[in-house]
Structures are given as structure tokens and as C-alpha cells.
Structure 1
């Protein structure tokens, strides 16, 4: 019997909301309905969906809630377009979800990518401290009275995929003092960003709730972002035929966040997670600290094991993790942890240590990134330009044509339009030697984007 420890958080149905379970037991297809008058939709003021959105807003303390059927990805894009008019600069963290880059292209926005603290022991980026974000805002010129290029908004990610949370109240307050509205990608969280003062919050029903994949919610509070602007952006990007099943999934997952039964279910899963953490610690299995009790993050580098190799070894034995990285392996317990996981997973991890363990891996080197960087070539132009693959050794000075997400750290080192400076090119070559087979030996660049030809490209 395998151990599925991956998303969705309902754990192959074990943790589905009871309301959703009842719906799925009905005759197949009976719940596949159009926007009938009594049902309505996310952008219709009347009907069951509108009432459910208002009820969830009251329960969560938001001024407005919209259900989404294109996952957190679609709602992040809509939120970004609601925040900033075309041509605006928006501050995005390097650990952003790629949907935000797509949103910048759709909204003709200028991404300002800001670097994050880096942990050399694990190879993971860490949440920004208030002092770090203050330096980022200074570097971006945010909050200046007469900036040449004002910053329109700040995006934060909390918690991270590994369950590490930022000090959101302090970070949001810092941004608000600079006059910036804040969007929090909280796909892996439970809505805490709203209490922290965030203006827009995106939740995923399948990552931290008992809902189905592709169901999500966008929450709004305060006066910094208009409800009309959000509705207009949703109208542009969301389907005109939303799935009634996914709308019901979003409703059920949000109500689970605040209902007594849902909180009891989460507390039971948390209890299992805490027992599992203690069991691993007793056995001397190195863990990376996580603020989410339903995430277990094994520090594979401390065991001398590449996390991707650990994942392959465990897969052969029926243990399915959520996220392998060179220095870590993340397991998601979900709202219905598998039976016996407290004993079964540590036993397999002990076997992994005996089979593949060695001296700890050397520290990871942080990628040489500027604190704040804007692509030289507009994001959309670079993405649509003719491209060519060049060896890493010849990449310095060229302009990236697509996102580059090497391991480590597994999030964009380059986005389309960024110039590949010599330091980053050398770092990539070093990583390719350290992690053969995990980093491509070529990179796609804008055709003819040598430094002396940039004026021709940029002016086209």
C-alpha cells in the first residue's frame, strides 16, 4: 500500500469537504450546470453563487470574495491586472508563481523582480524580513513623492511551498506606509494574509483546503483596490461558462476554513503532523523548519542525498512526495493524512538514509542576483521574439527569451527580457557541473540579442 503525500490536500478524497462529498455522490453530471438564474455565477449579483460569496466574505472578514475556476493562477493574474494600469511597474518576488509573469504580459506591466534571503544549507529562498523589504522598496524608489516611474503594487508569497511564513503584518504595514497596495499569493495558506492587512489575497481550494484542483478564491479588503476593477479583470480572464462543480468546491473549501467541523478536521490533521515531526526528530532524521504542521520537509542535503534522487528512490517504494529539490524533499499530509503515516514514512526515510546516505552535501551557492532588477527588453516582446539556443558558455551578454528555473533554487533565475550578465552565466555553468543532468547545457536567448545589437532589437 503506497503513501500518497502530495497535493491536492484532500488526499485522494480522504479530506474532501463533506458538502463536496455529498455533491459528488449524486448522479454523474447532475452537478454540471450552466449559469441558471437560481445558480448565477461569480460576477452575477444574484443567485446561489453570489450569496455563497457574500457569506464566505462575512465568515473570513473580507469585503468581497470571488470564486475562481482557473486555479489560483487565473486569480493571481486577475488581481495583478486590477492593481496596476498598463505600463506600471510592479514588485514581484523571485519565488513568484509563473502565472504572475503571464499576468504582466497580459496587462502590459513592467515586472520589478526583487531578490530574497538565501539559505546555503538547504538551497532554499527564505521569506523577506521587514529590513530586507525596506531595502527592496528603497532600491525600487517606492513611495517617493515624484518618482519617474512609480511602483504600482507589491506582491508577496506567504507561506512558501515548504510552509515557511513571512511576518506579513510587518511587511504589509511597511508597504502601506509607502502607499503601495499588497497582493499576497497565499495558495499554500489559510487566509491569514487578510488579518495581516493585505488588500488582495488569493487562496487555493486544493492546496490548503478540502476542495478540488482548479478551484480557488480571491479576497479583497480596504479601499486601495476597487471592487469594480477586480470584477473587470475577472471578466477579461475568467471563462464565461464556469464549472458549477468547481464553484461548489471553492465554496465548500472556504466554509471549511471557518466552520467548527472544518477546524476540528484541521486540528486532527495537525495532531498527526506534529506526531510525525516528533517521530522523525527522535530518529535523527533532519528536518527543515516549517510553519505548516501539514508539511514535512526532509533536509536531504544533510543526509548527503540529492532530493531528486531521494524522490526517485522513494517513488519506487510507493512513497509519493510533493516537491523534490536538490537539498530538500517536501511531503504534504493534507487534511486526511494516510493511515499509519506517523510510523510508515519515518521507516521508509530510515531505509533511504541507509541506502543512499553519505557525508552532508556542500553548502549551496546563492545565485548572483541584484536586489531589484527590471528586464531590459519588455517581457512580452522578449517572449514573442525569435529565439535561439546557445551554450551556457556563450550566454553572457545575451537576453533571455524564456524563464530559466534551474535547480537549485528552482525558481526564476532569469525571466524573458533580462540580460544574462557574466556572473549569472558563470554561476549557471558551475551549477551544471555540480548537478549534471538537472541543468540544461544551453539557454534560449532572443535571436541577435548581443549587446551591440540591442538597440536594433529594443527599437523594433
Structure 2
């Protein structure tokens, strides 16, 4: 087995995965220039002139204030442990121990971890499910309205709500209507827009609206999943009308590192400045046009894609030709193409912002080879999970994980309370959360998922003893 250092050497395989800078090819020009300097010259502590995200003085504080003003927000903070840390800080700023927070069923696992850290009860709201793809869609305003009527009663105050827009696969929520509906109920709203950073810096009228302009109180952007920054970089945007600045600052101090990487902080600043430039606008529109052309050309050749609201996410419909996305992923790796997200019924590629010459022909050859491998009979669809109504765990996740537990086969877990998370990663969307009671229908559905995805969905699960 080669060492990690050896695995970081240049690689000729096509990088159709995150980060979207394509192994550095699409990094902002200033960041590329910095990385050509003497290695390690940028590995610096929080020197007075540099500062850090939570400091009031220094270059970082100045950049954060300037960018917040440019985007019409009261505050912003750079993050160097990804969108994960910023989402967790935002949730802990909204909800105090003993309170509850509304989460969509397709919330990222980092938010469940925040509930564990803060003693917060998650109240799960249903989202649409695509049986032919085996994964969740985006929340609709009508779906949310039905979930909130009657008002969920977790036996404790509901302090705020989190939305996901767009999803990992690029499906966009009805974000303006969702935020307005939650605000009308008196709730502050945080939006996980990790996969939609580019929406906030796109002038095209036919693109989905960013949560930045939809009125969200907190918005988290990843700067490497949907913008060309280095991995682990992110930004948190804050409007202080419904959520106090000091609460957010204190939560960030609990979660963020006290030794932030100067290189990653510089990537945050440089990436956001690049996204605000006219050159970026031209580059992004060209890339989006190329993606649409690629999809059109491949469809003309018989390649099957599932539709997405983001042309930079290509969802190959492998299940429709009788091939698992997991098997297709292994085949692509052997062909020198690294995809982003394999699932039982599909394989998602992240087009990214680097150029890939000959990509259309390469994907066409891969599809034709996969079609020869499959028998042409579509794989069975994945039935909707029994999660189509508002769900409140019986215990908070932290309570459930502190109590004595035992390990049982999924088939023997009906009517038991879960003591662990079941969460395929990626995409990091929990299928079972500690504290939830496992119904017979849920147990059967999880067993079917285990048959399709044994590595990601275990056949044994911890439940309360």
C-alpha cells in the first residue's frame, strides 16, 4: 500500500469529483501563484497583521467585513474546517440545550453531531424521494406547509430551522417561499448552501435563487464543493435581525480551531474575491454552457441522465440499464475517471470548473461498455422510506448514545430505540438517528438498503438495551 505522501503525486485520471478546482487547474489565479512559492512559506500562525476569523483586528477581520458588506450581510466568518464546522456553529447559535430545531430529513450528518454536542432535539421534516434514483429530492413549500400544520410538538421550544438548498445532487428547493413560511412562524432560518455557492455569484435569470438573496438569517457556503477554493474552506454569512451576533461568535469559538491555517484563510479571501470578479462571471457561464452541451451531446448518443437543476452535476442513470452505480464507479476508476458519488441506482459526476478535453467521448465509451455489461433490464426501484411525515425522536441523540446499548441484526430491531447513526457517506444523509424508535416498516426498509449497499448500511445496529 503506497503512503499518503505518494498518493498526493500528480494524477492523470479525470477528476470529476470534489474539490471542484480539478486538482488545482481551476483555482483562482492568485492562489495558483501563491502555491508556486517556496513550500511552507504560507504556513503561518495568527500573526498580528494576519489575525483570525474570530479576531477584531488583522487582515482576516478586514476581509470578512469588506465581503459581508459587498454581499449585503451584517457579518461573515471564514471557516477552515469545512462547511461542517460552520453548520454546527450556526445550529448551536440558534438552539440552546433543551430546545429543538427543525431539520429536513436530508440534513447533513454534521447537524446531527451539533444536536449531540448541544443537547438539542432534532425535529425531522419529510422531503420528496426519487424511487428511480434512490435518494432524496428538495423540499417544497407545500410539503413544508403540510409538515407544519399542525405545528410539531417536541415537548420543548422550537428555536430555529435549517434548510438544504440545493441538495448534493443539485436539486433546488423553493427557497424563497420556504424561508418566508418559516419566518412567518417566528423562526430564524439557516440554509446549508454548501453545494450552491455558485448560485450567489451568478447573474443568470434562469438559475435558482441563492439563499443569500432569499432572506435567510444564516447561510453556509462551501468554497470547495461549488466554488474553486481549497478543501476545508467555507464561509458563514449572518443577518442579525433574528439572531444575535454575539451568540454566533460564541458558537464559532466553541467549534472552530484556535490555530487556523493561514493558507486556508487566504483561500477563503481569494476565492470570494474571484467569485465577485467579472472574469469569474464569464468563466462560470462558459463552464455552464459547456456542461449543457455535454449533456445534450451524450443524450443524443443514448446516454441516460437523471435531470438536475445544476448542469455541473451529472447523474448517470446506470440502474436503467441494469448496472449498479457502485459497479459503474469501480469500472470508471479502472478507465481513469473518478466520479463523485456512487449509489445503488446511479453515479454522480461533479463537472467542476476545470476543463477536461475529450470528456464527451470518454463518457460515451464508458456508457457503451456499461450497457454491454448490463442485461438491459432496469434494476428495481428503491421504495420510498417510511419517513413521509414529521418525525420526532423519543430521545435526543446525545441522550440515546449515553445509555446502555446492545447490538442486534436489523431484522430484530423493530420497536427498538436506535443508539447509533446509520449514514452512507457520501452523501452524509442519515437514514437512522440515535434516539429514533425503529418501526417495523423502517426496519424492513433498512434491511433492503443493506442488501443493496452492504458497505454503507450495516446489517447490525446498536439499540438501547
2: CA distance, partners of 1:287 / 1:130: 26
Greater mean alpha carbon deviation, residues 337-346 or residues 48-57: 337-346
Secondary structure at the aligned position of 2:230 is classed as coil
Secondary structure at the aligned position of 1:193 is classed as coil
TM-score, structure 1 length as denominator? Answer: 0.92
Partner of 1:264: 282
Aligned residues: 443
Report if aligned partners of 2:17, 2:340 keep a CA contact under 8 Å in 1: yes
Query: What does 1:155-194 align with in structure 2 at a 5 Å threshold?
Result: 155-190=162-197, 191=200, 192-194=210-212
Partner of 2:105: 94
2: CA distance, partners of 1:299 / 1:136: 31
2: CA distance, partners of 1:366 / 1:31: 49
Report if aligned partners of 1:272, 1:342 keep a CA contact under 8 Å in 2: no
Gapped regions of structure 1 (runs ≥ 5)? 449-460
CA offset at residue 378 of structure 1? 2.3
Return the match for 1:128 from 139, 145, 148.
Answer: 139
Query: What does 1:249-328 align with in structure 2 at a 5 Å threshold?
Result: 249-328=267-346
Superposition RMSD on alpha carbons, in Å? 2.0
1: CA distance, partners of 2:426 / 2:112: 20
Instruction: Describe the shift of the 1:407–1:19 C-alpha distance in structure 2 as closer, same or farther (beyond 3 A).
Output: closer
Return the match for 2:45 from 22, 28, 34.
Answer: 34
Instruction: Describe the shift of the 1:409–1:430 C-alpha distance in structure 2 as closer, same or farther (beyond 3 A).
Output: farther
Report if aligned partners of 1:311, 1:324 keep a CA contact under 8 Å in 2: yes
Partner of 1:452: none
Instruction: Describe the shift of the 1:245–1:357 C-alpha distance in structure 2 as closer, same or farther (beyond 3 A).
Output: farther
Secondary structure at the aligned position of 1:372 is classed as coil
Partner of 1:454: none
CA offset at residue 129 of structure 1? 1.1
CA offset at residue 149 of structure 1? 2.9
2: CA distance, partners of 1:345 / 1:203: 30
TM-score, structure 2 length as denominator? Answer: 0.91
Report if aligned partners of 2:122, 2:396 keep a CA contact under 8 Å in 1: no
Partner of 2:156: 149
2: CA distance, partners of 1:357 / 1:124: 23
CA offset at residue 44 of structure 1? 1.4
Instruction: Describe the shift of the 1:257–1:126 C-alpha distance in structure 2 as closer, same or farther (beyond 3 A).
Output: same
1: CA distance, partners of 2:132 / 2:388: 21
2: CA distance, partners of 1:438 / 1:30: 40
Return the match for 2:443 from 407, 425, 432.
Answer: 425
Per-residue CA deviations over 1:413-449 (Å, capped at 9, x if unaligned) read 2100111111111222344455666643222212x2x
Return the match for 1:225 from 243, 260, 263.
Answer: 243
Instruction: Describe the shift of the 1:63–1:131 C-alpha distance in structure 2 as closer, same or farther (beyond 3 A).
Output: same
CA offset at residue 315 of structure 1? 1.2
Instruction: Describe the shift of the 1:384–1:19 C-alpha distance in structure 2 as closer, same or farther (beyond 3 A).
Output: farther
Secondary structure at the aligned position of 2:366 is classed as helix
Gapped regions of structure 2 (runs ≥ 5)? 1-11, 201-209
Report if aligned partners of 1:123, 1:409 keep a CA contact under 8 Å in 2: no
Instruction: Describe the shift of the 1:17–1:410 C-alpha distance in structure 2 as closer, same or farther (beyond 3 A).
Output: closer
Partner of 1:15: 26
Greater mean alpha carbon deviation, residues 366-375 or residues 153-162: 366-375
1: CA distance, partners of 2:277 / 2:217: 24
Report if aligned partners of 2:127, 2:388 keep a CA contact under 8 Å in 1: no
CA offset at residue 194 of structure 1? 0.7
1: CA distance, partners of 2:305 / 2:107: 24
2: CA distance, partners of 1:409 / 1:14: 25
